[in-house]
Amino acid sequence: MAVGIARVGDEVDADRLGALIAELDAGAERWAVTSLEDRAGLLRRTHAAVSRAAADWALTAARIKGLDSSSPLVGEEWLAGPYAALTSLARLASTLDDLAAGHSPLRGLRFHAAPGGRRAVDVLPLDATEGLLLHGFRAEVWFPPGTTDQRAMLTAGLGALRVGESGGVGLVLGAGNITAIPPLDVLYGLVAHNRAAILKLNPVLADMAAPFEAAFAPLVEAGLLRIVQGGADVGGFLAHAPGVRHVHITGSVVSHDALVWGTGEEAAARRAAGTPALETPVTSELGGASPIIVVPGEWTAAELAFQAEHVATMRLHNGGYNCIAGQVLLLSTDWPQREAFLEQVRRALAAAPQRPAWYPGSADRSAAALAAYPAAERLGADGGRLLIDVGGEDAGAMGTTEWFAPVLGVVDVPGTGKAFLDEAVRVANDELTGTLGANVLIRPDVRRSLGAGFGRAIAALRYGTIAINAWTGLGFLLAATPWGAFPGGTREDVGSGIGVVHNALLIDGAERAVVHGPFRPFPASVLAGEPALSPRPPWFVTARTAATTGRLLTGFAGGRAPWLLPAALAAAFRG
């Protein structure tokens, strides 16, 4: 069962936590010698438990975030909650099946050249169902220059290639915004690194303990998971506890650095001396000021409106409380449609469904943005959405602060075509904090006109996930794509984090994921010669049937009935 924290006065119950760590260490030893077939079986039993708990999970998350149960926005809680967990569990189990049969998880996938002497492998779609659900979308994983197809094939499998080797106990400091994040981090540690996990829930998601207890009961019963509650003191105690061999944190750079280096004068002294407060290995998924690069072209009125909704979604999904939220819109000063597009963005931000500012500290962060940019436009019925047109000036705080609130900045970049794109890439790399995800919107004819220069520009973007005519949030949702910052983060300069999660094909040494989507929704896509049957995606904040679509897709992913898939597709088209 889920385990709460017992306290004596204001002190953490060290004996109780120590006993939990011992139980998990024994569980990790058992897991290490468990056959791959039996590991896959446990994941499938967990998949069934998640399916049974899915409604409680999604609706509890909606209540935490103050959503009316009839709101289309509840669809976010289905898709970024139980649906993401179900698809990840299914793909991880399939990967273990492949390895048990002596096959690489990448067997049969298409490898091809990527810019800069790289190799890449296509990971979406992996089957006919994905091809139908996400028709017109595709995703690939790029490897660093010098990686061969053979090496990628042979090393895919990670911890599952090391049966008999225990990774011990890992501490997962859970995120407080997206409910799939904590369990997905647990699952990745288990399968990729042979680690049992003690999951400390973020206090914001404290009420998720009961749904998680039911959903992941098979892992708890196997001694591979314990769920605890508590604040920073509990997290700090566990990070330093004997028997904890690894820590994974999802949050902010501030939280990471406080954990690793301490705070105040102590932190400065430790940094100077190179002696961190925490010696235990730490991986992390942190945020940043994610760019949305809009490459100039001749857009129709419908394209301007659709992509403005796309931008609004990148900023307002989950209320704006996403590490991967689009924050800085890079527009060309030489684009004749700049003002027309910005007006559509303004309308989309204002018209998106209202929701509570549910994440703690949102008002203070918005106030800080207003203080930094007094001319900010206040949009929406409550004026809580900020559009800040920085213009041609230095991005300043807009580029160096992750607002984690409904704040969208606009920064001007000169030029058109390749000149614009190259300068926008430079700004994204050099003037915006973080390397988690970057978005690029480009008309297909403009992309073709850039030829190989477009690929070189994408290769130059130093981001862990790049979405072209898509949102990097889709890269988070996909089970197969590695999720994390661009390689290179260190304890001293962590950026958007160290390491990856998700990665259900257990790819070793990926450099980045690149997601491609259709520039236009169906039917405009087909009429324009773009082979994509996708309607307005259900993760759009403007999708009117998102709650129904999310519930039906989750039911289908849970294996309840095949007819739920066409029903979900029909709901998506109605949206």
pLDDT in tens, 226-241: 999 999 999 999 999 9
**C-alpha to C-alpha distances, 121 to 62, 112, 446, 498, 511, nearest whole angstrom:** 36, 6, 25, 22, 12
Q: Count the neighbouring beta carbons within 10 Å of the beta carbon of residue 333.
A: 14
* DSSP 8-state code for residue 353: P
- CA 458 to CA 463: how far, in whole Å? 9
Mean pLDDT of the region 388-416: 93
Nearest to 256 by CA among 5, 498, 12, 11: 498
Cis peptide before 291 (omega within 30 of 0): no
pLDDT digits 0-9 by tens, 79-131: 999 999 999 999 999 999 999 999 999 999 999 999 999 999 999 999 999 99
- Assign 116 to helix, strand or coil: coil
Per-residue pLDDT at 26: 98
Q: What pLDDT is recorded for position 1?
A: 43
**Domain-wise residue ranges, the chain:** 7-105+160-251, 290-491+500-543
The tens digit of pLDDT for each residue in 454-512 reads: 999 999 999 999 999 999 999 999 999 999 999 999 999 999 999 999 999 999 999 99
Distances (CA, A) of 342 to 71, 293, 304, 339, 468: 27, 13, 9, 5, 19
pLDDT in tens, 550-568: 999 999 999 988 889 889 9
Residues contacting residue 352 through CB under 8 Å, at least 6 positions apart: 312, 316, 380, 385, 541, 542
Q: How far apart are CA 109 and CA 231, in angstroms?
A: 44
CATH 3.40.309.10 fits 290-491+500-543, yes or no: yes
In degrees, rounded to 5, the angle at the alpha carbon of residue 357 between the alpha carbons of residues 352 and 362 is 120
CATH class of 7-105+160-251: alpha beta
Confidence bin at 528 (pLDDT 50/70/90): confident
Backbone angles phi, psi at 504, to 5 degrees: -70, -10
Q: pLDDT value at position 524?
A: 86
98-110 residue pLDDT tens: 999 999 999 999 9
Token pair 């897991």 is found at 31
